[in-house]
A and B are shown apart, each in its own frame.
Chain A
Amino acid sequence: MNVFSGHISDIQVNESLSMVSVRINEHVTLKTIVVETPETASYLKIENTVEVLFKETEVIISKEDALSISIQNKITATIKGVKKGVLLSRLTLKSEIGDIIAIIATEVLNKMMLVENQEVIAMIKVNEIMISR
């Protein structure tokens, strides 16, 4: 699991859903949608320290910052290591918030010609990020 610590910087509530922004550092804020509201979850408070969690298998890799894509969370990173399996491969990405692990299909890794030291963008959909206090 990828885990990063940050502070809640914004909460938008509608009925029982909340879109929560978690500021990891100066430049990176991750957004997540949860089935909780500040009334049901005490940790949903501006400035509260929380952890954001997302699975390695939910990280999408792009070589360019495509604007026409429905993914809100984008982090610029450099490929630090590649471990190739037959069907799945593991990428270690160095980013300004720390290392991010991504598991992607080996086929796509080959097709995209992803190699060490290459700059990429790691993307995570808002519904794939969990919050833990």
Chain B
Amino acid sequence: MIKAHIHKTLSNANGKMLLDIQLNIKKGQFITLYGPSGAGKTSTLRILAGLLSVDKGQIIIGNKTWLNTEKKINITPQERKIGYVFQDYALFPNMTVRKNLEFALEKHQDKSIVQELITIVALEELQDRKPETLSGGQQQRVALARALVRKPEILLLDEPLSALDIKMRTKLQDYILKVHRQYELTTILVSHDVGEIIKMSDEIYCLEDGKISKQGNPSAIFTNDKLSGKFQFTGEVIAIAQEEVVYIVTVLIGNNVVKIIAQKSEIIDLGIGDKVIVASKAFNPVLLKIEK
């Protein structure tokens, strides 16, 4: 449904870089762009939205051409059916939540969508408040609703949850999935959070230096299907301590902290912040029912 081939020379901290990527995304898919800073993820979103020009390329959405440099077609951002949510919420501070949403309406558009969105992302009690009186998570919910006012076909999310704490993040992820399904959106998310990516996306594109280095199913990319251990999680190292003849490695998996006994050979090139796969056999864990 989204077919794009993008060519653009970008300047980043390391000099010039050629962004050269092809996207082939089916309607209704949830895609994540993953990769280090400066790899071209945000530029890709901006190009899709028409906020950044390309050197050459084309973007075809369904049977509509949004961009074709050879044929000199380049429709304006306003004509592209896109909702865009950024890391900072970019709400109008002088308007209430409801007014922020209404301001996004197109001329002559039916206003009922505003009420519908307020209900879906649970903003009823906040609708008459100004953004500054809201928490980060609440503001981001408003920004999400506002991005959907014009009923876009494509939702672009540029690290929308990275400023939020883990609890708020989980809640917002659920809202995003809800609107993604309800409005049959095709969604492209930029995220660094492996747990988030596995939870939300159907497919992941790994970007490195402006090129797609890997593409596929997120759990296949982040977990190790070459290992027979069935008890596998991806996490982040938060501490490494040597005790007696072993090391104790503390790993954050989702919002759970686990500890693993390791040997020197396992931690030799491991540092704080590194992503790791924690694996064990399905035979080892025990299950305890949590009493209600």
Contact = CB atoms under 8 A, between A and B. Distances in A.
Interface of A: 1, 32-36, 41, 43, 53, 55-57, 83-90, 101, 103, 127-128, 130-133
Interface in B241-292: 244-246, 261, 263, 265-266, 279, 281-284
A70 to B, nearest CB: 14
A130 B227 contact: yes
A34 B228 contact: yes
A86 B281 CA distance: 29
B36 interface: no
15 contacts: A33-B283, A35-B228, A35-B230, A35-B282, A41-B228, A84-B245, A85-B245, A90-B246, A103-B261, A127-B281, A127-B284, A130-B228, A130-B279, A130-B281, A132-B227
B191 to A, nearest CB: 28
B245 A83 contact: yes
A36 B232 CA distance: 14
Contacts of A35: 228, 230, 282
A128 B226 contact: no
A52 B229 CA distance: 11
B283 A88 contact: no
Contacts of B246: 57, 88, 90, 103
A132 B244 CA distance: 29
A1 B263 contact: yes
